[in-house]
Amino acid sequence: MSTELCWKRLRKEADTLKPRHLSELLADPQRFDRLSVRHDGLLLDFSRQRLTTETLEQLIDLAEAAELRPAIEALLDGAPVNLTEQRAALHTALRAPEGTKLKLDGKDVIAGVQQTLQAMERLVAQLHRGQWRGYAGEAIDTVVNIGVGGSDLGPLMACQALEEFTPDSARGIDLHFVSSMDGSQLSGLLSWLNPATTLFVISSKSFTTIDTLANAATARQWLVDASGLDAEVINAHHFIGITANPTKASQWGIPTSNQLLFWDWTGGRYSLWSGIGLPIALAIGMSGFRQLLAGAHSMDRHFREAPFTGNLPVLLALVGIWNINLLDIHAHAILPYDGRLARLPAYLEQLEMESNGKSVRIDGSDCSERTCPVLWGEIGPNAQHAFYQLLHQGTEQVMCDFIVPARRYVGQSQPLQEQHRLALANCLAQARVLALGDKALSEEQTRDAPPWKRYRGNQPSTAILLDELTPYSLGSLIALYEHKVYVQSVIWGINPFDQWGVELGKKMATELLEALEGDADPARFDCATRGLLERINRLGKAAEPRKG
Ligand code: F6P
């Protein structure tokens, strides 16, 4: 069947299902069994989605018609799926076990990956054992990761999520993350960190990102001022560069012996599995990091091998397609019911929106279908006290992902175990009320309720239940979303691996910096930009200290 016919059939299916309320669908006692799927310690429950098993079959037909199967093979085999940049997107190779073979341009990729892992292992051991010394000969006890986007969000999210897996050997190192271009995070840290024992990890695939280079320059100046030593000595003792552009890293001053390299075929937002994951390995040890890779690899294999009917990333993607393209839902909330996953929404915002926030297909034509929805999120229980009002009674339809571990605090205090049950209860309650609305209550309870106390329900959600949160299950969870994004891009015919949309803003900022420094004529800008520039420049001049 052609994709056109599949879409046509799905539109008919949507016309039938749109008027049906989730309360009606959930009346089927078999629904959970029919619409939940599992792999390893991950369960995906689609029973609160506004679809049926027949809908899923039709969506799978669409995936087949869009040639998803060969597209998955192409991704995993290293074909140049990033067509606008003519390269592979081989983040999956970064988590392939030792001994696996994968050739790219005649060279075995996995051997290089394993070498980098070994280099990482040596670095981690050196730091954990207190063998990396600062300019005064003292052992480094603080590591600050300077990066942004994929060079920040992945390691930051994983380090927060897995903090409790810190082995004793890693307890001597304090980790911090700095990303913001304006220096606010860095200036706070520099006011109390000890320069003699602080190491900066400059994480940047391109090593040209101005945000990162500005923070790195400030950090280096701080060290030079504190030590009275040359930048060269400081670079050797206090900077590690993680990059795919060793030339630029060397030009900046990072000695080659302090560089951890990765490859052009690793997209920034897919890079936490590479050397960019160094902070994760520092936080949870190399064996923890390898567990993260193993969990992701298990999902990669499942993605390649499982039939679409039980394939977690494929189904997650297709359910998204159903909501976005057939039910016209264009907002997506990510709601982890576990404070350790606080940064997961931000991580997924980049992963999904930078990948699939496109309106042009690979062949250059305009997309005929809507693509990536607006994605945002927050720790679920906190969001209950913030934006859930809109989810329950607003005018917007929103699809939600509830993410929660079944087990937590095993063997720990009763009150903590009680708190986990409380979080679970809230998660289940919110998903239930969003789906059923008033129908979650008895007729008697709702009979005399005024309009402002009514709940419409019918907001679709997917529950993602982890047996527990571990490095392994986190690896699987992230890989699940990565592959979901890829599947959707195949259906929409777009390239999820470039991000040309962010380039123009960067170029424009350079021109505006010149205007702020008085080196460019403001007349060349539009009136709004000119107006603000003039005001900023006037205020800046007024704040300058008077001479004489
Ligand atoms: O501006 C977007 C982006 O290129 C992201 O794709 C990337 O993760 C981030 O900037 C950081 O890039 P780099 O690692 O090259 O500094």
Q: Which of 156, 209, 247 to mutate to test the pocket of ligand 1 (most atoms within 8 A of CB)?
A: 209
Q: How far apart are the first and last CA of the chain?
A: 82
- The Cα 358–Cα 371 span in angstroms is 7
Count Cα neighbours of 254 within 13 Å in the Cβ-side half-sphere. Answer: 27
Q: How far is the CA of 265 from the centre of ligand 1 (A)?
A: 14
Report yes or no: 533 and 515 within 8 Å, Cβ to Cβ.
Answer: yes
Q: How far does the centroid of ligand 1 lie from the alpha carbon of residue 133, in Å?
A: 30
Q: How far apart are CA 358 and CA 370, in angstroms?
A: 9
Q: What is the 3-state secondary structure (H, E, C) of 193-261?
A: CCHHHEEEEEECCCCCCHHHHHHHHHHHHHHHHHHCCCHHHHHHHHEEEEECCHHHHHHHCCCHHHEEE
| Best probe residue, ligand 1, of 82, 145, 146, 148 (max atoms within 8 Å of C-beta) | 148
- CA dist 465 and 315 (Å) reads 15
Ligand 1 atom showing the smallest separation from residue 276 Cα: 14
Question: 138: which DSSP letter?
Answer: P
* Alpha carbons 353 and 364: distance in angstroms, whole number: 19
How far is ligand 1, taken at its centre, from the CA of residue 244, in Å? 12
Give the closest residue (by CA) to ligand 1 atom 9.
149
Q: pLDDT value at position 413?
A: 97
Which residue, by CA, sits nearest to atom 16 of ligand 1? 204
Instruction: Specify the pTM.
Output: 0.97
| Pairing verdict, β 239-243 and 198-203 | parallel
Ligand 1: nearest atom to the Cα of 271: 8
Tokens of 519: 């080196």
SS (H, E, C) 47-111: CCCCCCHHHHHHHHHHHHHCCHHHHHHHHHHCCCCEHHHCECCCHHHHHCCCCCCCEECCEEHHH
> Which residues, in sequence order, are bridge partners of residue 44?
37, 464
pLDDT in tens, 274-290: 999 999 999 999 999 99
In this prediction, residue 547 carries a pLDDT of 57
C-alpha span between 146 and 242 (Å, rounded): 10
Could you identify the atom of ligand 1 that is nearest to the CA of residue 244? 15
Question: Is 354 marked active-site?
Answer: yes
Residue 499 Cα: closest atom of ligand 1: 6
Residue 46: left if φ>0, alpha if ψ -120 to 50, beta else—which one? alpha
- Which atom of ligand 1 lies closest to the CA of 206? 15
Are 61 and 67 contacting, i.e. CB atoms less than 8 angstroms apart? no
Pocket of ligand 1 (CB under 6 A): 148-151, 204-206, 209, 212, 268-269, 354, 499, 502
Query: How many whole angstroms from 214 Cα to the centroid of ligand 1?
Result: 14
CB 530 within 8 A of CB 522: yes
Q: Which of 181, 193, 83 is nearest to 134 (CA)?
A: 193
Q: Whose CA is nearest to atom 1 of ligand 1?
A: 502
Q: Is beta strand 461-468 parallel, antiparallel or unpaired with respect to 42-45?
A: antiparallel
The DSSP code for 359 is -
Can you say whether the dihedral through the CA atoms of 411, 415, 421, 423 is positive or negative? negative
Q: Among residues 13, 349, 354, 482, which one is catalytic?
A: 354
The 3-state DSSP class for residue 475 equals helix
Low-confidence residues in the chain, pLDDT < 50: 548
Q: Considering only CA atoms, which residue is closest to atom 13 of ligand 1?
A: 204
Distance separating alpha carbons of residues 380 and 402, to the nearest angstrom = 8
Cβ-in-10-Å burial (0-12, 13-18, 19+) of 522 comes to middle
Distance, CA of 505 to CA of 334 (rounded, Å) = 27
Q: How far is the CA of 502 from the centre of ligand 1 (A)?
A: 9
The active-site residue, picked from 101, 385, 507, 541, is: 385
CA 183 vs. chain centroid, Å, equals 23
Ligand 1 binding pocket mutation candidate from 91, 151, 347 (most atoms within 8 A of CB): 151
- Ligand 1 pocket: which of 146, 499, 500 to mutate (most atoms within 8 A of CB): 499
